[in-house]
Structure 1
């Protein structure tokens, strides 16, 4: 704000305008009372309040971080062709955005899951943020949908299903296995282990699945980080842009490498398509292409995200 008054305005005029604005906006003093205090008409008070806005003496901002944007969500839902979207206005760095998206996903689960559902979970940093913000859940059975990748135990699917089962009080079926192995025979051997088989047998019973989505270009995925170089090179050569529950997807929604899927201990693409409600939880504009790909593949029915990713998807789709 300039200290020099506009032409024709005296310092006293500007002082009066600031005084009126402060009483009105900071102290909630009614206009009639302001007029009485300052010995001016209430009409002059109204003019000074309006001028204060017009000249930038008063600047109003709306703190909408974490607040759902229903209009943007509906546009995104239509573009992606899925059943439901939640879009929150998110601010701050990557971790703050993750927390805000996670809070929205936690609220969605707490308010829409029903008693005796079978809830399937994968893993990821945003899903960790979701899990830690779950206030309550009905009694549900929780099943892990994939093995784990190397990394922080706190963000592993084993830890996530454990925490969720503690909140819901239902049975839990973890998978103590790597997500992927070097050959099909080893994968089949792991799947035949009684404990792992108990979880896999529940895949057809899953009613709601909650998954993270990884982006390959630009790279924002834990899967790509831990795969052997030869597998990464092959997947990229075949056009991989996204991964979800260990399933690699091209931009057009087609699957990248069926042979790789056979080496994974996870829910299959066919099983995932049959789940009535599959909620992807992801944030950040860099995942726009990945989200469009998994939606085209029919692997998700719902999305919880932030406004940056939503706007990026809409821009890529031509508005």
Structure 2
């Protein structure tokens, strides 16, 4: 009985499928069906239906409630393209976030999932940015893929939040991420040349004293919106985990670290954890990242569920863009 234009309207169930509640008598079911058809499929008001059928509008309202309760009518919210509207709504309500976008992925390959989810993040970013915003972008593969999918930005400043982590087979840098975004905005970007993780504290201290690094990290305090990737503290789930030594990994695990964003580590409660590794990292300080008013996190894969859940619990993110498998894991608790 439904049509394309009635996609999100309640639709009558097929005969014999009244399973949601007690089955009404035949006459009551026919009246209920008549009222439901006029209201849901024909768009009549309750007052109009009451006049046509010869009952009160209060009885019309009661019949509509019973139609839902008995299963005569069910409400379906169908996917809109690649976005799963129902899962997005349920996850947003469950997590209490400003925005949640759940993407139904077409290709299960990790790189393909990342590209598809990051493209959805680019769309969300374009919708929420205001000309008065200052956008912060750290290095991450998801953030890089998101910037590649952007087509335009309002005239905003863009700030680099971290150094770059060199990955085998990938030559994109943190500077390229910020420069490309700033070019789309028609403004300048606050950028610097530095790795995200270095081998010793002295080198890190020297890099932080570089004017470009100091400028960008100071400008990070003005950031109003940021897009970040979420890394789970496990092999293959975080570029920082993979780049650190086994001693570093064990030390952070002992400190309760479950995830990181822009190399800022946090525990299962979403509290930023200060670790000795921080002294060798070139990135925005944890308190500054936590103070950014709106943070959109992009994450893929069910293995990242603990890190995503912790970031939400600690209020480190305000919006989330994920693939459908990760969304199911998060909804399952």
Structure 2 length normalisation: TM-score? 0.70
Matches within 5 A, 1:44-193: 67-93=82-108, 94-151=110-167, 154-193=171-210
Contact in 2 for aligned 1:66/1:104 (Cα 8 Å) = no
- Corresponding position of 2:278: 261
Aligned to 2:309: 292
**Unaligned stretches of 5+ residues in structure 2:** 1-77
Question: Which residue does the alignment assign to 1:274?
Answer: 291
Aligned-partner Cα distance in 1 for 2:308–2:117 = 15
Q: In 1, are the aligned partners of 2:129 and 2:154 still within 8 Å (CA)?
A: yes
Report which stretch shifted further, 265-274 or 175-184.
175-184
Following superposition, the deviation at residue 144 of structure 1 comes to: 0.6
Distance 1:86 1:314 in 2: 13
Structure-2 separation of matches of 1:79 and 1:218? 29
How many angstroms does 1:115 deviate by?
1.7
Instruction: Give the drift of 1:185.
Output: 4.6
Query: Using the alignment, how far apart are the partners of 2:216 and 2:272 within structure 1?
Result: 24
TM-score by length of 1: 0.73
Root-mean-square deviation (CA, aligned residues, Å) is: 2.1
1:251-290 per-residue CA deviation (whole Å, 9 max, x = no partner) reads: 2323343333243221122111211111101112121111
Q: CA deviation at 1:148?
A: 1.4
Contact kept? 2:139, 2:163, Cα under 8 Å: no
Runs (4+) off by over 6 Å? none
Corresponding residue number in structure 2 for 1:231: 248
Aligned partners of 1:65 and 1:170: how far apart in 2?
34
In 1, Cα distance between equivalents of 2:213 and 2:146: 25
Selected match of 2:300 from 261, 273, 283: 283
Contact 1:65-1:91 within 8 A present in 2 as well: no
1:198 maps to which of 204, 210, 215: 215
Report Cα offsets for 1:96-126 as digits up to 9, x if no partner: 2112111111111222212242110012222
2:324 paired residue number: 307
Q: Separation in 1 of the partners of 2:256 and 2:291?
A: 25
Over residues 230-260 of structure 1, what are the superposed CA-to-partner deviations in whole Å (9 max), with x where a residue is unaligned? 2112112333221111111222323343333
Partner of residue 71, structure 2: none
How far apart are the structure 2 equivalents of 1:218 and 1:265?
21
Residue correspondences, number: 254
SS at match of 1:270: helix
| Equivalent position to 2:227, from 203, 210, 213 | 210
Offset, 1:163: 1.3
Task: State the 1:219 CA deviation.
Answer: 3.8
Structure 1 residue matching 2:165: 3-state secondary structure = coil
Q: How far apart, in 1, do the equivalents of 2:80 and 2:235 lie?
A: 25
Q: 1:66 touches 1:100 (CA, 8 Å); kept in 2? A: no
Per-residue CA deviation, residues 140-190 of structure 1 (Å, 9 max, x unaligned), is 111110111222554432211121112111111112112233454543332
The unaligned stretches of length 5 or more in structure 1 are 1-62
Provide the C-alpha distance between the structure 2 equivalents of 1:200 and 1:310, rounded to a whole number of angstroms.
Answer: 33
Give how far 1:191 is off. Answer: 1.7
Contact (CA 8 Å) 1:66, 1:101: kept in 2 or not? no
Cα deviations by residue, 1:30-56 (Å, 9 ceiling, x for unpaired)? xxxxxxxxxxxxxxxxxxxxxxxxxxx
The answer to whether the 8 Å contact 2:79/2:85 transfers is no
